[in-house]
């Protein structure tokens, strides 16, 4: 769900996989998904295997809404995968909820996917031409069906053969009756890490914070092109495809998507965000009285901006973290309240002050103006907006929902035109060089949403519901 008062880009989902003998893997997967809830709020699911058979439960809603003690009690086994979803390919309907689970000639198979294949439409047509039935409009089902049809003596071989055809972003959890496989694309677009559980066994997840929630130690990143097997033996690591040169890690994981306690590419996300704020203060100082963030992802950057500039940091907005995650539609009068449903201003902290408002991005431009109005209505004399990344001018095809090109305000307007549109006293974006300096490396990151230069050839007309023509 993407309400009008949420102008951030949306990541597709979070995934988790667990092998934990003599443990309640379903409950472990539940708490792992709970730690990944920020990555998707549309649907959630868990599939479990016990060495012989497989069971699954999934539905539309938040993790805590989908699962109850009774549903988790019915999911028994030593192996589990889980998924929490925001749609980028396929609409937010129940039939697109994950994991996908099917019976194959090799036994039961389930798959949970974070990312987006840019050649999924071609692969889907090939499957349909061979008589393979499809029940959803998700590229993740295409991947599942390809694995089911692939030859090879082992699941690792079948996965490797499929990886040779898949183009785009995929961090996968694949579940069979007696194994979990953590799989990452050769470009390394989306994050994926694996760790050792204290009671024995292993877990893998989209973010290190979810693994620490489960008590994991010896956490390391699943390298691009790797398959890591979680089973009765120690990790078995297979370099199925050589890493791409250059890699294309999504820089927006650093800017916004990942929780600040995540470690990715050997870097602390919280520290990178503070660095973004420092670079922003260096490039675009402001004469102001207070620095305030748009919570939550911009808090570290605002701390960095304040430290670099010497201007005091304070809270300006209080965020209702749940209003954007309810499935109850507001009334017309409440809808007109817009961002005021999600944010309240601490008037005393901005009254008669020149405010620097730090935010991580402006996508469509439909919340920055209302946020500025809230501050000015609360008595702020001036509002200077500083953004911790360059203008977003191009859509993403690697698993991030930013809309189409014409939806992006920076594709249609100059910075000065955007400033006037949102009614800021000043507006500045961090430069591309400053952003990558804050990250700590200019190499190995996808910057396509800022530059229009994609790591793989893409169809600019692709939309996230492209499979759904003729499907109801």
CA 68 to chain centre: 25
d(CA 383, CA 425): 6
Place of tokens 């973290």: 321
Continuous segment of H or E residues that includes residue 268: strand 267-268
Residue 32 to residues 37, 61, 428, Cα–Cα distance (Å): 9, 16, 38
* Structure letter (DSSP) for residue 412: H
Of the CA atoms within 13 Å of residue 136, those in its CB half-sphere come to 25
Report d(CA 298, CA 425) in Å as an integer. Answer: 20
DSSP assignment string, 419-469 = HHHHT-SEEEE--HHHHHHHHT-SSSEE-HHHH---SS---TT--TTGGGT
Task: Supply 324's token pair.
Answer: 């954007």
Nearest to 36, CA basis, from 58, 63, 9, 10:
63
Kindly list the catalytic residues: 13
Give the span between the Cα atoms of 254 and 360, in whole angstroms.
Answer: 10
CA nearest neighbour of 194 among 409, 32, 336, 319: 32
Find where tokens 């990178």 sit: 272
What are the phi and psi torsion angles at 395 (to 5°)?
-75, 165
Under DSSP, is residue 196 helix (H, G, I), strand (E, B) or coil?
Answer: strand
The helix/strand/coil state of 208 is helix
Residue whose structure tokens are 């130690």? 217
User: Please, are residues 19 and 79 in contact by the beta-carbon 8 Å criterion?
Assistant: yes
Are residues 106 and 85 in contact, defined by beta-carbon separation less than 8 angstroms? no
Beta-ladder partners of 180? 175, 230
Kind of pairing between the strands at 445-446 and 43-49: unpaired
**Residue 86 DSSP class:** -
């Amino acid at each position: 769900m993407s309400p009008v008062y949420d102008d951030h880009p949306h990541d597709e989902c979070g995934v988790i996989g667990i092998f934990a003998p003599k443990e309640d893997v379903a409950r472990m997967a539940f708490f792992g998904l709970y730690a990944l809830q920020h990555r998707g709020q549309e649907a959630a699911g868990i599939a479990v295997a016990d060495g012989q058979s497989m069971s699954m439960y999934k539905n539309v809603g938040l993790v805590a809404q989908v699962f109850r003690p009774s549903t988790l009690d019915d999911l028994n086994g030593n192996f589990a995968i889980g998924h929490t979803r925001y749609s980028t390919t396929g609409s937010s309907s129940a039939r697109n909820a994950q994991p996908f689970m099917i019976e194959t000639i090799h036994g039961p198979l389930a798959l949970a996917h974070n990312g987006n294949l840019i050649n999924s439409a071609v692969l889907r047509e090939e499957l349909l031409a061979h008589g393979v039935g499809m029940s959803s409009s998700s590229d993740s089902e295409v991947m599942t069906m390809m694995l089911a049809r692939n030859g090879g003596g082992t699941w690792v071989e079948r996965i490797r053969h499929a990886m040779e055809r898949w183009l785009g972003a995929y961090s996968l959890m694949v579940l069979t009756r007696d194994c979990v496989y953590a799989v990452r694309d050769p470009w390394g677009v989306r994050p994926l890490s694996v760790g050792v559980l204290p009671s024995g066994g292993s877990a893998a997840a989209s973010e290190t914070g979810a693994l620490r929630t489960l008590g994991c130690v010896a956490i390391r990143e699943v390298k691009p092109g790797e398959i890591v097997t979680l089973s009765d033996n120690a990790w078995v690591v297979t370099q199925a495809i050589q890493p791409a040169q250059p890699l294309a890690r999504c820089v927006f994981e650093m800017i916004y998507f990942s929780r600040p306690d995540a470690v990715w590419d050997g870097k602390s996300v919280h520290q990178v965000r503070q660095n973004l704020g420092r670079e922003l203060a260096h490039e675009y100082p402001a004469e102001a009285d207070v620095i305030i963030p748009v919570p939550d992802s911009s808090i570290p950057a605002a701390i960095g901006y304040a430290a670099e500039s010497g201007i005091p940091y304070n809270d300006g907005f209080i965020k209702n973290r749940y209003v954007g995650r309810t499935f109850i539609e507001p009334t017309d009068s409440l809808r007109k309240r817009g961002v005021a449903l999600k944010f309240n201003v601490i008037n005393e902290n901005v009254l008669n002050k020149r405010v620097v408002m730090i935010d991580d991005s402006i996508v469509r431009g439909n919340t920055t103006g209302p946020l500025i109005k809230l501050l000015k209505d609360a008595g702020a004399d001036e509002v200077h907006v500083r953004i911790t990344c360059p203008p977003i001018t191009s859509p993403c095809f690697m698993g991030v929902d930013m809309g189409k090109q014409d939806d992006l305000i920076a594709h249609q307007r100059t910075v000065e035109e955007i400033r006037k549109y949102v009614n800021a006293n000043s507006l500045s974006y961090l430069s591309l060089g400053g952003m990558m300096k804050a990250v700590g490396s200019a190499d190995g990151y996808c910057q396509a949403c800022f530059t229009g230069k994609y790591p793989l050839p893409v169809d600019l007309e692709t939309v996230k519901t492209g499979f759904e023509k003729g499907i109801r």
